[in-house]
Structure 1
Amino acid sequence: MAEAILGDQDQYSCSICLDLLRDPVTIPCGHSYCMSCIGECWNTNDLNGIYRCPQCRQAFNSKPPLNRSTVLAEIMEKLRSTELQVSESAQCLAGPGEIACDFCAGEMIKAVKSCLECRASYCETHVQPHYNVPALKKHKLVKAAVIPVCPKHDKLLEVYCRTDQKCVCMHCLLDDHKGHDTVPSTIECNEKQIKLTDTQTKVKQTIQAKEKELQKMNIDIASHSDSAKKAVENSKKVFSELVKFIEKKSNELIEEIKAEEKADLDQGTKLQKKLQEEITELKKREGVLEDLLQTDDNIQFLHNCESVSSASGSDELPSFSFQPYCSFEDIRKLICELAGRLETTCTQEISKTVNKVSDLSAKRPPFDIVVGDRVRVKPSVVAPTHKWGSVTHFSIGVVKNFPEQRNWTGVVSEMEHVTSAGSDLSTKNDPFNIKVGDKVRVKPSVTTPKHNWGRNITHKSVGVVKDIKSDDSVVVDFPGHANWKGVLTEMEQATNDDEIGPSSLDSNIKIGDKVRVKPSVVTPTHKWGAITHKSIGVVKKIQGESLTVDFPEQKNWTGIVSEMEIVASTGPGLESVIKIGDQVRVKPSVVTPTHKWGAVTHKSIGVVKNIQDESLIVDFPEHKKWTGLVSEMELVTIGDLVDIKVGDRVRVKSSITTPKHNWGGHVTHKSVGVVKDIKSEDVIVDFQKHKGWKGILSEMELVNDSDTDISGSP
């Protein structure tokens, strides 16, 4: 029983003197202390009439009454007597690092308490006078420990010097610490305890917050895992349903083919039967004629000859031929085309989906990127979160800045390492492939080099690398400036076709020229705006390295001379050569025309009826008076049309609702005829039921030899 009580001894100890409670009192917050300890504490720390519990720091506006707790005092007496009996039989020798009793003779018994007044340590036996003798009861007992003393005055450290942040004795206040900000150690201890309590509270709150974060993270991870499983299951389900859908449509098509086959075979069977009947009749007639020819009686022969001749009817019997409504060779080709389109579409769309999934995983921050690494924006990133600035996909910088723009801000997940061993960029754009002797120039994307332009150096200047330093600086000899110093990442290799000095191509650009952005420029210095690499505009103004261009898509566009190239007036794709009467179509690069498609497609070819500024009116076979932009159209030459020639079998395209020169008497989409003459864009066709039919070449399509006119044309 005693051992059980001693095992819980700490809950019966005063938190001030660390000994078993003596004359225990309980304050309103519920904590218990020795009457003398709490009284001394509150007398010493009476600040502004506020009294605090040393443990929970609860404040009381007035000093609570200290009444002795009788029940708790009796428990303490029983516990103390039991502890004394046990301690007398359980006293042990002081081990290494433990404090020994200063009053035990002979064996070094382990001390349990130290007195700050006596500056001595006591075992359980020798400490009893401090509990019984009135004069010693006022001494301050603490758990057995080495009592710190002032090394200079050999006195107790009772004062805390805030100036020097250390504990000192009373004598130190008169010499080394005279005039310093000092307070009793108990006050400083209490104040620091308050701060530590606040810190402890904040730590507990932080722990609770982190535990909530961990709990939420566990839930999120589990949810993410479940989401991935559902995504896998959904993917399997969707693709399975897609396969079933294709199989269903395949079966429907097969049934349709079989139905068409049956219809054609039924027609053929009827023709076979009719033809067989005619053959039977003809054989009967042949027999009659044979018998007549064998007759020797002239009178009978002549008499029967007239009757046989009148009964036989016309010798011109109708001819029969099997002409099926459906060409299964055409169906085979259509199925092959469909399979090709499906395969292409599936490949493209699935690749897009896979790439998007890869991009999602690529957003995971690559924590291996550290300050000092060479990096660039990933090719898969179309637009960085914090914008391009002057940076491009080709820009390579050190994690701190880019040569084109200092202190550029990006997202770690959008960047990738660039090693000196090479990269997937072209040799021209990879600065780490540049070596001594190479021809180089400043990149168009670099507005101002780190070490400035120097004398007569521009974006068009081409020089020879003379030296490359270990810090990635480079020394270049330009024609007008020898030993020019630059940064390796600001340079690009120049081809052998480039001149040493100003570019002859760039220098030829003048006001009024038609120009476009060079294919080698990924992103122009002043951004794309509404233009693209295919946009062609007219130079309106040139000032130094800058120029202003009017594009059909954007007026007053600002660019840099070195980023532009001249477009010859006879070059392909130049919209300004389009005029009224020309045959045109929408450029393949235009995804959706500005004024929408209507019934027009990329394959539609029409005639320009009117041009006003940048707009034009086109008559397409599928859509009359269609409105578009000149810059979105391209000329169509005879070579772009179907290669139809005299003698070819043709028919009107299924996409043509009404031919330009109308259908004629018996011509339909199924009518097949032969080309008799071609005059410019007009074509003359002989159909079975309409000879000399006039049409337009772009409205016709070739017909395979296996195709026939439903009306019976060849």
Structure 2
Amino acid sequence: MASATTSKKMREEATCSICLHLMAEPVVISCGHSYCQACLLCFMGPASSPQSQQDTFSCPQCRAPFQRGSLRPNKQLGSLIAVLREQEQELSCQEHGERLHLFCEDEGQLICWRCERDPRHKGHATVLVEDAGPGYREKLQEAVRKLRKLEEECTSQKAFTTKQIAEWNEKIEAQRQKIQADFQNLNSFLKEEERSYLWRLESEKELTLRRLRDSEAKLGQQSRELESRILELEERCQGSAQKVLQDVKGALSRSQAVRLETPEAVSLEVQTECDVPELYFDLRKRLRGHQGPCEDELPLSVFVWDFLNHLTELPGSCETDVEQFAETLRGRVTTDEACKNFRTSSMNRPRPCQSSTAWELACAITCPVT
């Protein structure tokens, strides 16, 4: 209340008694009273001559005499009026129109001195805005510091997430390249197997065609011989009786001795067959199952014979898989003793006829002769 009364008195002192508003560019006269410069000049009227500076006028408030030349700017009063104008620009109570110079701690809102007397704020703790401001300013600054800390943490987490995104993209790209490389290798393997099986199919074709053509040639030769004998007998039949009877028994004997040589039966069933999944994945599974030493692994000779038996079933895969087979053998046979045992135990087994080349190769790469 004391602050509101003081502010009211200050406003009264800064009010021009001529226009009854806060003074604009206040000037003071010899008696000490101040007025708006424009209001006082209007009160004195225009200067008619240079000697008018000595004209005498009466103060509008106290009637004390003053001269036109005694007007002086009142800078201190001008600064006070500037402060009062700033205060007028502050929030005003919408209900009472008074300046909101109090703060209600219970409601957490600005109030005027008339709101403080209202029953709604009865018993509430109220303080001057000037007194409450510093404490709440510190609280707001503390809240800002906490939010800044959270902002920094958020920025750090964002940077970390951005890094994770980059790392994840790199891993995905690496995995993509690996998958593409694996499929390229698989395609290369399948191309090799395709060439191998096509070569086998072509070889089977040529072998069967050769046998069929040999049979065709022999039958052609027999057909020509039979045609010759038939012509001979027909000519004899068309000749004279003497010609018919001449060496007739020999002719009949020779014709009865003619036999048709039936060619060897050739199977037209295609033997070259290829099951791609069986060819690739089953062989890899077998090799993986026997790689590396372990207590319960199969004997080495059993492993080799298992592999050779597989090649017997799928001979076309020998060329493409022998390198991996050789690597597995070298990993299993690492000493001269093991090599000797391998050869001794393996020699007692019968060799699969269709895998003899692979068998000799297995012995050579496992236990090379020095």
TM-score bracket for this pair, using the shorter chain length: 0.3 to 0.5
- TM normalised by structure 1 equals 0.21
Query: Which is helix-richer, 1 or 2?
Result: 2
- TM normalised by structure 2 equals 0.35
Query: Which is strand-richer, 1 or 2?
Result: 1
Q: Which has the larger radius of gyration?
A: 2
Which of structures 1 and 2 has the larger relative contact order (alpha carbons within 8 angstroms, sep 6+)? 2
